[in-house]
Structure 1
Amino acid sequence: MGTPSNDRENTLNELLNFERRLVELRYSLSVLEWDSEEEIVTLTLNHLKNILNRYLEKELSDNDIYEWANLIEMREDIRLDPTHEDLLKELIFELANPEINGSLTKERSLEMRALK
């Protein structure tokens, strides 16, 4: 069994890459303490683009994307890539809050994917 920090890092990387089913990711995150003294992993624009590609390929649903972004939003142990920090913050907020921003569409996902 790994150390707690390795377990946290592995779980967070699995989240960023959406490597497991949502129910499994939610459970793994629920056993971690919410507060973190440090940012352990970094969300990049490539993570987001890979998730959007999977949505466009119909591997993930709009609800999957909403849930994924919701699990990421506001976590203290996930840093946003400083090169695209404001953009990532804006896009994760948009994806995590469809009741405010509207549901994800193919057109919007293509626009997001094209951002640099």
Structure 2
Amino acid sequence: MRNRIEILKDLVLLQGNIEVLEKELSQYPWDIEKPLFKISTEDLSNLLKRSINDEINFETLTNWANVIECRDDMEFADEKMQETIFELSSPEINGEITKERLQEIVDELKE
């Protein structure tokens, strides 16, 4: 059986099926005192580039953001990244996801 950190890493890097990874994580308690895995700006940037390059569709990207958005066992590099995850998780509130917008986010993450 894989440990929680391995599953979180696969989820962050989107290596595998989101639903399967989410199910694997469901065996662990939701609440946790401190995060076990930190999402780097590089991790997010690489994932967005995969979507820009049509390796990941926008629906999958939205589902991914929804799964990681409020997890206690994950930490974001900064507040801007947290806002970006929220934007991606709720296109119906924050506006449609487009390749152009994803590229803007990638460029902002470099700053």
TM-superposed CA distance for 1:86, in Å, is 1.3
Instruction: Find the aligned partners of 1:64 and 1:30 in 2 and give their Cα distance.
Output: 19
Q: Which portions of structure 1, spanning 4 or more consecutive aligned residues, are displaced by more than 3 angstroms?
A: none
- Identity percentage of aligned residues: 34
For structure 1, list consecutive stretches of 5 or more residues without a partner in the other structure.
none
1:75-102 CA-to-partner distances (Å, cap 9, x unmatched) read 1111112xxx111011001001111112
Aligned to 2:98: 105
**RMSD (CA atoms):** 1.2
| 2:14 is aligned with 1:23 | no
Name the counterpart of 1:40: 36
Count of residue correspondences: 109
Deviation at 1:18, TM superposition (A): 0.6
Aligned match of 2:69: 73
- The SS at the match of 1:79 is strand
Residue 29 of structure 1, CA deviation: 2.1
Provide structure 2 residue ranges, at least 5 long, that are not aligned to the other structure.
none
Deviates more, 1:67-76 or 1:26-35: 26-35
- Give the distance between the partners of 1:37 and 1:87, measured in 2 at CA: 23
Letter in 1 for 2:61: I
